[in-house]
Structure formats: structure tokens, C-alpha cells
Structure 1
């Protein structure tokens, strides 16, 4: 049974959901999500003998939401994971991340391989540090219409998503899923600033089988007090994070690693990923061939829980002590 409590990490209170006993597995969600995104993973991993912990990361849901935008850089986020592992009384953990949680997981493995027994990234691969800051690069490549650039203006996406959170979650979760026929050939997520992000993703009318109205209601309730600004601040720190992680340019993932994604995930089709993803095993000694789920969209562990759980358990069971 999933239990909830709050853990303080370097002055930031993180809400965690946890189940089971045994080696620690930390599950890191993405945007716009929270601990509940891992609802299908708790019981199977706990039953297999693992202590499963899914925090609301800083800025999200029930965790603290620092006001300063610059409090959401990658070193802050990795520091939260390191602090959480220690606060739980452990010295090492397997770190699993989806969407924004994946870069946090990959960077934790790069910066603190002594702490990470193994790392799993869902959706987002380990991405090399490019020659141009990411917000600037996308601004120039897509004339400011890439969704990161829409998100970077304080207050704009915040207000759009908060206007009707129920509609926001319905439209985002369906719109980026493999069930949306438009994602059979995912296009770049370009935004008309006058129309907003959600204009790209109409309401589905009927939810796909993996997503219920109760699920939507739970996400809405978790965001009722938090809003969306904390999560959006992660995007606003993209260029700053690149600057602060310069010392790790060229670093490789050396701990055992797994990359798992869907072929209908928009991230797979970001510029350059068609060349990066096939090359991952040669770039990172700890990483095997990508595990690709046919017909799966962006919400990997929610859309395909049985397949994701099987892949996670196989990976976990194969790790050295």
C-alpha cells in the first residue's frame, strides 16, 4: 500500500509516496505530472522486493515551490535526489526518470556515479551538451515557436494551464499519447503564442483505456494549490543549467543504464534525436540498445505499465549488488 510523508532536503520539503522494503528505487516524474504518474509501478516493484519512492519534485504538487526561477537548475534538481537518498538512510539507489525526470536521473548518474546503482530514462535520452544554449537554439531553429520558448515567458503558459486544469490534463495526456492518431508521425511541437499550447491538442471526448476520469481528477487535485509555475520554471532554467553543468561536458554514463521510449513519443522526433538515439550504446558504456515500445506515445509508464514494469524488473534484477 502506498504511504505518504514529507522529507526535508537542504531546506526544501519534498512530499514522497512510497511502498515496499529493500533496495531503494527512486522514481522521478516529469511535466505536468507528480508522484501519481508512477501509480502502476509501486505495487509490482514493491512485491519484487524493492523500496519504491516517488517524490513530487521541487515546484510540483505537495512539495515546496521556491519562488526564485533560478532555484530550478539541474544542480538543484540533482541535489534534491542526492539529499533524498541520504534522508532515507541509504547510500545508493536506482534512479528512474520520465520526461523531465529523465535528465535529472541521467545527470545524477553522471555527477554521482558512486550514489547510483543503475539509471533508467523514459522518453528523454541522455543528451550531450550542445554548442548553443538550448532555449536560444530552439528560438533560432523554429523562430521562437518551439514549446520551450512558449514556456519560458513567465506567467504566459502558467495562466493558460491554470485556467481550466481539468481540460489541461485531459488535453495534454491524450494529445501527447500514442492513442492520438496525429502522433503516428509526430510533428515538432510548435506553438502559436496567440493560440497557446493547448490549441494543438483538442479534447479527446472519450479518454483512452489507460486513462480514467478518476486519474484526471487526481492530477487536478494534486495541482490545486501548486499550480504550474514551479514545473515551468524548470524550462526557464534550461540555459542556466547548461552553463552550470559545463564541467560535465563529454561525461559518459558508466553505471548500468536503460533507455526506454515509445515510437510515437514527440521527444524521439526532436531535432538530432534520429542520430543520437541509435548511437547511445556507443556514447555511454553503461547503456544498452534502446527499448522502444511500438505505438506508445509520451506517457510511457502510464500508457504501457505492464511492458514498462517488465523492463524495469528485468533491469533491476540484473544489477550487481
Structure 2
């Protein structure tokens, strides 16, 4: 397993990769606040099975970095980066797998480029079809207000200074995030994602939050070093483009994903509080859905919390559908 830089259109992407050069290509897309190394267990397992597994640090993260402008982090940029990476690796067909924010990127890769992405898997965040009645953030705010739940953290992330509490102490911010969304954390310590007035996301998580059982100090340091160097501004810019993404994807309205698809979610994933409603109708939008799995007791960080189970499901899926070659 190696880590190296790959030059693509306008970016130098840092990737973690392993597997035979001519093996079927599988791209593994991380979410927030993660890095390509979050897929280390999957890169190893897929490589051993004969696949070429590649996990990039995405735009705005880790060794990849990228532009500072908020507008340079739309879904079109993010999907384009994955397309460019596949081309730089010499492939015109591959499978894409995404977790957390990486899942919407993977779903949109499949929507926009079915010729290139022959199968797709999403972890933790189900496919969410474009809402025809208007952009998402006003709808989120209205739903939260009617339910009396407080603001969804995604609404708070729209503020131009929302990254500053994270940048002030990256180690504490990361420790709290991994704790509050982990399956081993008791219910009172988990985040619901909804925030009372005057309390930000980090302030809503207990100060005595500990690292999850699966997170070694050495692995945690990889995250701390990367975010201390690159900051949280560009990762939060992904959220700040949600309404812009809605504008840019009108041409995808009502389009379904027809490639073979897989969805995996943790039973105790707090993201299900605000994205879980989309799980029930997945088969209507993923017409090639081959599996929809709920991992008992698991939280949000599936590929690290439950590496063996995720590897088993991914390899079974890939053995059934191939990887495009």
C-alpha cells in the first residue's frame, strides 16, 4: 500500500492505493471530516482480492488541497475530480464507493457519468433525489422550525465563519466529531445534528468526549496533522454550496441510477435523524439496487467501525457486478 500524488486537471490529488496495476479499478471517496486513509482497511482487502483500490484526499482535504474560493467546491467540481482521477489512472470504466459526503458524490458520479461509473455503493448517506420545490437549506430550516428541534448543523455551516471553532483547536474538534457520531457512544453522548439557539455543533458535544474504540492515537494524529495544516474552511465549503448544487443539477431532475448499486448504514448512525427518511424509497431511485444493509449497533464511521463487515459486503457486491473491466 502506497501514498502518492496524482496530477489531474488543475489538482494534484494525494491518493492511498494498492492492488495490481491492471486490476479492476475501485475509487473510494471519503466524507467529513475524513481523509483517504479512512479507507485503509478497504484498500487492503480489495487489493488482496485483485482489485486496484484508490482512495484520494478529496478537494479541500489533506494532501490534495485545492482552490480557496467557496464557489470552487460544487458537486460539479467534486464529481469532476473523480472523473479526472479515473482518467489519470488510465481507466474509462470503474466502480465508485462513497461514505458520508462521499456518498452523494458517488451517487452523482453514477447519475452524471453512467458510461464511466459502472456500479456504485454508498455508506451512511442514502441517495436523495433533487427536491423540485426549491433549494435544500430553506427547506431544512423550515422543517427544523416546525418540529421545534433547533437548527440543523448543516444550516449553521452556511455561515462564512462556521469553520473558525474547528480551526481554533483541530484535535478537540475531531475528537468530538468522531465521538458524537460513533456507534459505541451511548445515546446521551451522540449528536442528533440539531442545535439549540446560541450553541454550535462542537459546543453541543461533551468536553470529555473520548476517541472511539477503533481509533488509535497514531491514526488520530493523521487527521489532526492534516486539518491543522489545511484547516476546515474548504471542507465546510462543500456544505455552503448545497443550494448552488441544487441550481446546477436541474438537468438531473427525476433521473434514476440504473447501474448496480449498494447501500450500507449503521443502525445507530445519527445521520439517520435527518437523512434516514430517504432509505425507505431507495429502490425507486436506484433501479439496480442489489443490497440495502443496516449494520446492528454501528454508528456513522462504518468503514472504520465495522471494517470486516463492510469489506465482506463490498467484496460480495463487486464479485456479483464486476468492476467495469
What SS class does the counterpart of residue 152 from structure 1 fall into? coil
2:158 matched residue in structure 1: 152
1:162 matched residue in structure 2: 167
1:284 is aligned to 2:286: yes
Residue of structure 2 aligned with 1:296, choices 295, 298, 313? 298
Give the superposition deviation at 1:134: 1.0
> Structure 1 residues 40, 250: closer, same or farther in 2, change over 3 A?
same
1:198 matched residue in structure 2: 202
> Structure 1 residues 88, 164: closer, same or farther in 2, change over 3 A?
same
1:66 is aligned to 2:67: yes
1:114 matched residue in structure 2: 115
Give the superposition deviation at 1:3: 1.1
1:310 matched residue in structure 2: 312
What SS class does the counterpart of residue 61 from structure 1 fall into? coil
What SS class does the counterpart of residue 37 from structure 2 fall into? helix
2:5 matched residue in structure 1: 6
> Structure 1 residues 187, 224: closer, same or farther in 2, change over 3 A?
closer
CA distance in structure 2 between the partners assigned to 1:206 and 1:95 by the alignment: 32
1:172 is aligned to 2:177: yes
Give the superposition deviation at 1:206: 4.6
Give the superposition deviation at 1:187: 6.7
CA distance in structure 2 between the partners assigned to 1:107 and 1:205 by the alignment: 34
Residue of structure 2 aligned with 1:208, choices 203, 207, 212? 212
2:76 matched residue in structure 1: 75
CA distance in structure 1 between the partners assigned to 2:69 and 2:78 by the alignment: 14
> Structure 1 residues 203, 212: closer, same or farther in 2, change over 3 A?
farther
What SS class does the counterpart of residue 290 from structure 2 fall into? coil
Q: Is the 8 A contact 2:93 2:116 kept in 1?
A: yes
1:37 matched residue in structure 2: 38
Aligned length: 316
What SS class does the counterpart of residue 62 from structure 1 fall into? coil
Give the superposition deviation at 1:183: 7.0
TM-score when normalising by structure 1: 0.94
CA distance in structure 2 between the partners assigned to 1:280 and 1:289 by the alignment: 10
CA distance in structure 1 between the partners assigned to 2:284 and 2:142 by the alignment: 30
Q: Deviations over 1:225-257 (max 9, x none)?
A: 111111100000000001101101111111111
CA distance in structure 2 between the partners assigned to 1:289 and 1:35 by the alignment: 25
Residue of structure 2 aligned with 1:243, choices 244, 247, 256? 247
Q: Is the 8 A contact 1:280 1:289 kept in 2?
A: no
CA distance in structure 2 between the partners assigned to 1:139 and 1:246 by the alignment: 22
CA RMSD of aligned residues (A): 1.7
CA distance in structure 2 between the partners assigned to 1:317 and 1:238 by the alignment: 35
TM-score when normalising by structure 2: 0.92
Give the superposition deviation at 1:289: 4.1
Q: Deviations over 1:101-133 (max 9, x none)?
A: 000000000110110121000001110111221
1:254 matched residue in structure 2: 258
Residue of structure 1 aligned with 2:273, choices 245, 255, 269? 269
Give the superposition deviation at 1:283: 2.7
Give the superposition deviation at 1:292: 0.7
Q: Which runs of 5+ in 2 are unaligned?
A: none
Give the superposition deviation at 1:68: 1.3
Give the superposition deviation at 1:33: 0.6
> Structure 1 residues 205, 269: closer, same or farther in 2, change over 3 A?
closer
